[in-house]
Structure 1
């Protein structure tokens, strides 16, 4: 009876159950169909985006960049990214809970950030391309004026790109590339190093109109340095220039012999630094000697102060150049037509031409200084005509050459504008001394001999760092200054130039005030130098070769001594000092040592052999490619043509 009743109930329930099951099945079919359709749509969009990306890469190749095609590709990519967002809008919020899915969980969790990153990068690229297209449109207006006009008119595009890149950096920061699929991680690895520089480039584009006088005229002080008479920031300031720019137009450019801007009768100049007074007999500190600090921002500030003391307008920035920078400019503009040079002056003749402008033939006087300034003004006027009428192709060639000059410090810049100053400092283009927290070494020569003998000086060195006890690092530095002039001439100090040609001024002993900059907490333990006879010195005072210790620029320590190198001879300076423990870092017996070598502007490359003595049985974990390792010693030979950083990692049980 019970079984029969149960069977009847079962029969009565069957239609309802069938409908329920049928409904569930239909929902599943519809859901699967929807998911399948979405997957088909998403796959199609993914393929379209892949094609968009390939088109962007092809159109943006530096050698064959096609801006109109690039913009079309970026616009299409933005549309496809928006379509993809629309397709996945319902499921995108759920991806945060899908980290458990085998194989693709981390990719699903990262999907919203990856999509947003792609959207903002495409937007930034499109906005920047719009600005560049406007800039390169055919126009008879000179390029500097076009930059001011277009960058001002297109500022809203630059601001949009800046905001998009800012968001892109935030999206990237939220990702963990190591947890993603290798192809995604590899793509992110290529993107990451470009995010910050791209933002800085846009910031520079926003700043450039102001620097070119968009709102008001900008005044710049130019220091023309002669490395044949080497000084801390590149050379003796043989001439100075005053440059005024307004709305991208060069309103005024005047070059003066540096001795002609001093006004001793009306200006109370500050006292000269001790080495200039002790070894050259200089009492006032004047503009031509203003670059005594090897830290260019400090030297530029001193030059600006002395320039204003003489009654000139406060500069908005200071530029220091060497003859190599002039050579770079002529390589870009082409040969220059000059009144006193036939045929036209080409880049290979720059050094000899500039030296010839010095030749007095007769006594040095105001008339000679005026002739020298006239020759430099003629050169500057020809350069101005070429530079302010550059076409885009020439500007593209000039860009990498200027970057190289900034790295070698043949061009140094200091700006009053805080944003510009920060950008220059960030990329180490301002010539600042940068000791940091690692080991640091900068060799600074200063010719204090009233001559051009730096032309004949070669510098070599050996730097040994003893890390056998990593907690107490020890350093030994040996520097050799070799005078390559084969004549043996007496070392007779002369106070002023009288007569003769330029070559005469190079045939002399080398009076060098040598400074070595090292980490702040370094302690001098011992030194070996060569004393200098009193009859060789300006004041007739015997120099015993003492090495003094003082505070250096930007938190460095300074070791200094006077070195006189006779012609056809050499002088060796040895310093032994304890390094601060912070130059070697340790994390669970994994030690890291880093050395930052900074090049002096204008100096011939320093050939330096670096030896790092590691603890016995230390296991190397990282070694620079150019280094060798034998007998627990890492050895590297460096030709210091630009700043260089060396890093060595090793394992050693404490």
Structure 2
């Protein structure tokens, strides 16, 4: 090899040294545990088999994993012997003969690192041996000698061996510097290859993400299901491969966090990759788990009912739990990423594009894991649910007066024992009922709270617990959850299920006529003295039968409708299952009052007039916030009620002549106990309440214009209430000016940058209400950002919308 260049000779010498790494015994049984062969095979596939035998260099660690068996065999037998070796001979050195799934990227990276460490140790041991055996100083072991390589031999340190040493030393030192240069060049080449692989990996992951996003915005179809599976598997492999390639450099990035713009990206690179790896693994595992269900849902002629869905999800539990574990790891990694330090591009990718899907994926996966228990799968036993039917025509805090209630039992996804009864059927004068809220006592002369009035609290978990207790007083059993729906939720169901045939009804009941049907049926039943709500049992039974026997239900559309009703609070859920309860709380679907961080507003109307006038009442909200003084922000709320009933109808709170005549119960004055909920610490500065004449009250006692400070034991909430009456054909404005707690304005590290957050919670049972918000900033303040985008007018920020659900606003601004 003397005619070859020093660099070539060095590389070949290193390859010869690598051969000494090969274990002297065959791989042990349980081959993947024989880490010595794994480390040798990894380096052979990555570097030395391409060098010695002309194989292509692998494109990634996963690619190298696929070539390890062949690379080991080439070094064991040699190229010519390898080509003629029998399968039995080759099998003795195969590490992954029966493996279908690639080894995890972290394990491959570990083999690679440990293999390099062993090779380096072997190199140093050999260098030390040669230095001692030849009595020559080693420039590797003693780097300081490098500067002496050009000096005369006489100036070199004296070693035993005299002139012979000098003769040997001179040529050795002559090649020391070229050898070092070659090593540096090899390192540069290696870094270049690694950088290229990392670049290719990042590019592949970006392309995968773009494809996933394009599929996500489209309509769910069987064709999409067939495409997304392989794409998720590829994304998982690409992310794992990228992390394996970049793993050796991630720790370096933390030291460059000080760099402008991209320093945060480098410092967070490890956590970003951990998040991506966990997320893609979870997506792939979850898809594999539910793909039978998705294919069945999109299968056209295939009939899938609730028992079928339950069975499929029970079978998918092992993979779903694995997916949840992977997703939890991704969420944990996400929590360790500081958004504020990321570059704008990476921040937008994670915060705007990834985070919304991350939350939905987490909740969907948790729901899939909890579903078998909720559906009464055999392992958990039958589940019983209390159903509350609320009539928003007589609006109450959680959606409406409870006209009917009942239970159903679900076992293995099959609904059994579905019974709905008139709310009055639960009254039992022999039972000891709780005392009614003081407003019901004073304004309606109701001494105790019965099931139909159990939803006075706007906090649905509180009302649900009371309803379950009152139900159990006469039915002697509890429930595993409480479900409350209003008339609009029933209408939404029929938009997907289609018409149903109700017993003794001459026409099909549809989404277009169901509300009219229910109003007529209530009035007719009351007039005839029949069970006033027996029609709800018949309607509910018809809907249930439609779900059971129909083979053309669009389950995806049904899920979308249910989600919309949950967001609008026409459907409220409370489940005893902790996992599902956490999901409902996170999404705001449990109807609980949660003020959160910052300002909070919830306006709650409660009809206390023994009528159904809310069918023609409109309510509009206007809220003006003044942030001029950060230490003492204020808020002005104006609530406008418009009663579209006929003008001139006498305001008689309780009239027996009207009972049973539903249309006349709608055409009445509006007795409303209006409540406003604000953050704890809010003070009422002034208000415009309205006096109510004694002639308008069932008690005959006049009610003065006053605002009550409420103590309803809701965490973080301060309530205010007032009684008002709106005659037919009139409107009434009620205003409240509040001194808000200074904590509604948050500060950042920069004391000049402030954050104001507002959460407006929609009352259940209400149609979209007009909401107008005006936020006045301090003089000279500069708006940095707002979510959603707000309109600027004369220095004020404006927001207006019809409330389809809860509204959240956040602004960040800088003061002079």
TM-score by length of 2: 0.72
SS of equivalent residue, structure 2 residue 287: helix
CA RMSD of aligned residues (A): 3.4
- The structure 1 residue matched to 2:593, chosen from 433, 447, 450, is 433
- The structure 1 residue matched to 2:285, chosen from 127, 138, 143, is 127
Q: What is the aligned partner in structure 2 of residue 345 from structure 1?
A: 509
1:199 aligns with 2:378: no
**Higher RCO (CA < 8 A, seq sep 6+):** 1
Deviations 1:526-565 (A, max 9, x none): 3333322211110111111222112243332222222111
Q: Is residue 364–residue 498 contact of structure 1 (8 Å, CA) maintained in 2?
A: no
Distance in 2 (alpha carbons) for counterparts of 1:623 and 1:96 = 32
- The structure 2 residue matched to 1:236, chosen from 388, 401, 404, is 401
Deviations 1:316-368 (A, max 9, x none): 11111111101111111111112233332211111101101111377463xx1
SS of equivalent residue, structure 1 residue 596: strand
Structure 1 pair 125/585, CA: closer, same or farther in 2 (3 Å)? closer
Q: What is the aligned partner in structure 1 of residue 779 from structure 2?
A: 616
Deviations 1:82-117 (A, max 9, x none): 555666676677666788999988766655545444
Q: What is the aligned partner in structure 2 of residue 489 from structure 1?
A: 649
Q: CA deviation at 1:234?
A: 0.9
Structure 1 pair 496/448, CA: closer, same or farther in 2 (3 Å)? farther
Q: What is the aligned partner in structure 1 of residue 541 from structure 2?
A: 381
Q: Which deviates more, 623-632 or 377-386?
A: 623-632
Distance in 1 (alpha carbons) for counterparts of 2:763 and 2:203 = 53
Structure 1 pair 609/381, CA: closer, same or farther in 2 (3 Å)? same
Distance in 1 (alpha carbons) for counterparts of 2:778 and 2:346 = 41
SS of equivalent residue, structure 1 residue 378: helix
Q: CA deviation at 1:381?
A: 1.4
Distance in 2 (alpha carbons) for counterparts of 1:485 and 1:171 = 57
Q: Which deviates more, 629-638 or 128-137?
A: 629-638
Structure 1 pair 497/652, CA: closer, same or farther in 2 (3 Å)? farther
Structure 1 pair 345/615, CA: closer, same or farther in 2 (3 Å)? same
Q: What is the aligned partner in structure 1 of residue 804 from structure 2?
A: 641
1:320 aligns with 2:484: yes
Q: Which deviates more, 181-190 or 435-444?
A: 181-190
Distance in 1 (alpha carbons) for counterparts of 2:813 and 2:255 = 42
Q: What is the aligned partner in structure 2 of residue 274 from structure 1?
A: 438
Distance in 1 (alpha carbons) for counterparts of 2:637 and 2:255 = 60
Q: Is residue 682–residue 738 contact of structure 2 (8 Å, CA) maintained in 1?
A: yes
Structure 1 pair 353/626, CA: closer, same or farther in 2 (3 Å)? farther
Q: CA deviation at 1:447?
A: 1.0
Q: Is residue 290–residue 316 contact of structure 2 (8 Å, CA) maintained in 1?
A: no
Q: What is the aligned partner in structure 1 of residue 384 from structure 2?
A: 219
Deviations 1:584-613 (A, max 9, x none): 234523333333222211134443433334
Q: What is the aligned partner in structure 1 of residue 172 from structure 2?
A: 16
SS of equivalent residue, structure 1 residue 375: helix
Structure 2 counterparts to residues 399-410 of structure 1, below 5 A: 399-410=559-570
1:148 aligns with 2:310: yes
Structure 1 pair 93/255, CA: closer, same or farther in 2 (3 Å)? same
1:256 aligns with 2:421: yes
Structure 1 pair 184/232, CA: closer, same or farther in 2 (3 Å)? closer
Distance in 2 (alpha carbons) for counterparts of 1:467 and 1:103 = 32
Deviations 1:139-175 (A, max 9, x none): 9674322332222222121111111112223334455
Distance in 1 (alpha carbons) for counterparts of 2:443 and 2:434 = 17
Deviations 1:359-386 (A, max 9, x none): 1377463xx12xx433212211121123
Distance in 1 (alpha carbons) for counterparts of 2:554 and 2:571 = 19
- The structure 1 residue matched to 2:581, chosen from 413, 421, 445, is 421
1:579 aligns with 2:579: no
1:554 aligns with 2:715: yes
Distance in 2 (alpha carbons) for counterparts of 1:102 and 1:11 = 55
Distance in 2 (alpha carbons) for counterparts of 1:86 and 1:591 = 42
Q: Which deviates more, 43-52 or 284-293?
A: 43-52
Q: Which has the higher strand share?
A: 1
1:513 aligns with 2:673: yes
SS of equivalent residue, structure 2 residue 431: coil
Q: What is the aligned partner in structure 2 of residue 473 from structure 1?
A: 633
Structure 1 pair 541/586, CA: closer, same or farther in 2 (3 Å)? same
Structure 1 pair 41/568, CA: closer, same or farther in 2 (3 Å)? closer
Structure 2 counterparts to residues 24-423 of structure 1, below 5 A: 24=180, 27=183, 56=212, 62-63=218-219, 66-81=224-239, 112-138=270-296, 142-175=304-337, 184-189=346-351, 190-214=353-377, 215-264=380-429, 266-360=430-524, 363=527, 365=529, 368-369=530-531, 372-389=532-549, 394-423=554-583
Q: Which deviates more, 608-617 or 504-513?
A: 608-617
Structure 1, unaligned stretches of length 5 or more?
A: none
Q: Is residue 530–residue 572 contact of structure 1 (8 Å, CA) maintained in 2?
A: no
Distance in 2 (alpha carbons) for counterparts of 1:502 and 1:290 = 23
TM-score by length of 1: 0.88
Structure 1 pair 108/285, CA: closer, same or farther in 2 (3 Å)? closer
Distance in 2 (alpha carbons) for counterparts of 1:549 and 1:231 = 19
Structure 1 pair 498/628, CA: closer, same or farther in 2 (3 Å)? closer
Distance in 1 (alpha carbons) for counterparts of 2:201 and 2:638 = 65
Distance in 2 (alpha carbons) for counterparts of 1:343 and 1:520 = 52
SS of equivalent residue, structure 1 residue 344: coil
Q: CA deviation at 1:516?
A: 1.6
Structure 1 pair 568/247, CA: closer, same or farther in 2 (3 Å)? same
Q: CA deviation at 1:277?
A: 1.9
Q: Is residue 303–residue 552 contact of structure 2 (8 Å, CA) maintained in 1?
A: no
Q: Is residue 614–residue 666 contact of structure 2 (8 Å, CA) maintained in 1?
A: yes
Q: Is residue 788–residue 810 contact of structure 2 (8 Å, CA) maintained in 1?
A: no
Distance in 1 (alpha carbons) for counterparts of 2:255 and 2:685 = 63
Q: Which deviates more, 222-231 or 163-172?
A: 163-172
Structure 1 pair 348/4, CA: closer, same or farther in 2 (3 Å)? closer
1:535 aligns with 2:711: no
- The structure 1 residue matched to 2:602, chosen from 424, 442, 446, is 442
Q: Is residue 142–residue 389 contact of structure 1 (8 Å, CA) maintained in 2?
A: no
Q: CA deviation at 1:467?
A: 3.1
Distance in 1 (alpha carbons) for counterparts of 2:808 and 2:692 = 35
Q: Which has the larger radius of gyration?
A: 2
